Amino acid sequence: MKKIYDQIAKLKQYSYLQGIVSWDLETEMPQLAHKQTADAAQFLGDIYYELITDPTFIEEVNNIDTALLSEVDQKVINELKLEIFKIEVIPKVEYVAFLRLLNESHVAWVEARNDNNYSIFAPFLEKIINYQKKFISYYGYEQHPYDALLNEYERGMTVSQLDPLFDMIATKLTPLLKLIAEQEPINNEFLVTGPYAVDKQKEFCHKIAEKVGFDFRSGVLKESAHPFSMSLNKHNIRMTTHFYENDLNSAISSTLHETGHSLYEQGVSDDLLHTNLDSGVSLGIHESQSRLYENYVGKSLQFWEHNFEQLQELFPEHLSNVTVENFYKAINKVQPSLIRVEADELTYPFHVMIRYQIEKEIFSDEVSVDELPKRWNELYKEYLGIDVPSDSQGILQDVHWSMGSFGYFPTYVLGSAYASQIMNKLIQDIDFDKVLSGEFSVLKSYLGEHIHQFGSLKDPDELINNFTNEKFNPEYYITYLFNKYKHLYNI
């Protein structure tokens, strides 16, 4: 294993460099430095590719007798084999052409969205989909071609597991949404007027990130156009949020969301630090941690009962006459809307379901690229009752497809569903009310013990199974949403 770990160390050096360059790109790089930054990213990508496809290294990996290895070493080898397989299975000439296509597609997508002109993006999307279909044939699948793509983002995830989740959303949550539409709307005017001074928002977000357990000795909270978090390693976590003067909840919610991701990474065991297993295992499990902090913590009444006063002190001119109950209601207001990233907790899964539906149709050849906008708008009308006024606010709103990411969207809802299943177990084991009253270290340790420490040592299904003594079960999620919103709207 010595030679393999040496190569892993080298790969990790280049991953770190890729990370720091991309962090700079997102948070600091001046406009005209774009070319230098893009060149560096390309340079590093090429080196990474060469290292991972180095024939001597691949031989080492393939020839090692895993039977005699420790659990960690075995998993290290398996992960390498998978990574190598994924790269090798695609002919290099196609891989390079695909990457070039993605660069051009991203530019085309930006232009299409700015000009509200789907036809600029459509030919690129067509090509991307054709590549993906080819890749699916290389990867292989058992039941549904889309499974091969789902597996890219959530290992082992399949249409047969996701259909029940999205079916329940469609069949069970739709009536709830209709009921809510009939109720008196919640007044959230004070939240979205402001102006809420950004420096005060910053101060508050910094405090709550720290309060719930983010370790600022091992991480940074900064600002970027779109909030994200990344791990350079467990001692070097970078996360961002975004502040709006006329939306007090956005930055708070994003901060808790990204903190959830970051706590996962900060909690990975030191024993994995030198391996390729030292980061969260999947997008879905990651999203379960972020959603747990964003929604179960940050959108709960109990949390705000202990923290609203501080917020009032920062913004007395806006909040002194607001009760904590009204604040809680306002941040949970349900309002069907056009844009996924601005959606509330209940309508959010519908946005994802629509994308899931469309992606499934694409890869079973049920819809053509030209028909996509029409299909998109139909589904928005059907499920959210919304007329999509323009493709920019419709099918062109998300960056994912222009980056070749199909099968990614479902992980957003999967994460919420995992979170509910986890919470169901968690409240049996620890006192969650106490957590919300301020004892966040209990929550951090608990999640650390059952999820964080393992990094990528255990696959998502194994993790969920071991932790909750049950396979993935979407019912908890539906039940949770039902209970929460029925109570909130007095239905």
* C-alpha separations of 70 from 59, 76, 238, 457 in Å: 20, 10, 31, 12
In the bound complex, what is the minimum distance in angstroms from residue 28's beta carbon to its own copies? 6
Q: Select the span of 17-25, 168-176, 442-450, 461-469 touching its own copies (CB under 8 A).
A: 17-25
* CA–CA dist 485, 349 (Å, integer): 14
* CA–CA dist 356, 375 (Å, integer): 12
The nearer residue to its own copies, 13 or 74, going by C-beta atoms, is 13
Residues 221-240 that bind its own copies (CB under 8 A): 222, 232-233, 235-237
270 near its own copies, judged by CB under 8 A: no
Phi, psi of 247, deg, nearest 5: -155, 95
In the bound complex, what is the minimum distance in angstroms from residue 34's beta carbon to its own copies? 8
* C-alpha separations of 34 from 39, 41, 44 in Å: 8, 11, 15
In the bound complex, what is the minimum distance in angstroms from residue 315's beta carbon to its own copies? 17
Per-residue buried b or exposed e for 195-230, using 16+ beta carbons within 10 Å of the residue's own CB? ebeeeebbebbeebbebbbbbeeebbbebbeebbbb
2 near its own copies, judged by CB under 8 A: no
368 near its own copies, judged by CB under 8 A: no
The correct pick among 53, 117, 151, 218 for binding its own copies (CB under 8 A) is 218
Q: Which residues does 335 contact at the CB level (< 8 Å), separation at least 6?
A: 185, 344, 347
The correct pick among 6, 28, 104, 387 for binding its own copies (CB under 8 A) is 28
The correct pick among 3, 6, 39, 483 for binding its own copies (CB under 8 A) is 39
The correct pick among 6, 36, 45, 441 for binding its own copies (CB under 8 A) is 36
- Length of the chain equals 491
35 near its own copies, judged by CB under 8 A: yes
Of 200, 256, 266, 275, the closest CA to residue 448 belongs to 266
Which residue is catalytic, options 258, 287, 345, 359? 258
436 near its own copies, judged by CB under 8 A: no
In the bound complex, what is the minimum distance in angstroms from residue 31's beta carbon to its own copies? 4
Is 258 marked active-site? yes
The correct pick among 220, 322, 403, 430 for binding its own copies (CB under 8 A) is 220
Unique residue bearing structure tokens 């030679």: 3
52 near its own copies, judged by CB under 8 A: no
In the bound complex, what is the minimum distance in angstroms from residue 276's beta carbon to its own copies? 16
CB neighbourhood size of 487 (10 A): 10
203 near its own copies, judged by CB under 8 A: no
- Between helices 118-139 and 92-115, what is the axis angle to 10°? 150
Hey, what amino acid is at 18? Answer: Q
Q: Which residues does 171 contact at the CB level (< 8 Å), separation at least 6?
A: none
189 near its own copies, judged by CB under 8 A: no
Residues that are catalytic? 258
Chain residues that interact with its own copies, rule: CB under 8 A: 13, 16-17, 20-21, 23-24, 28-33, 35-37, 39-40, 43-44, 199, 215-220, 222, 232-233, 235-237
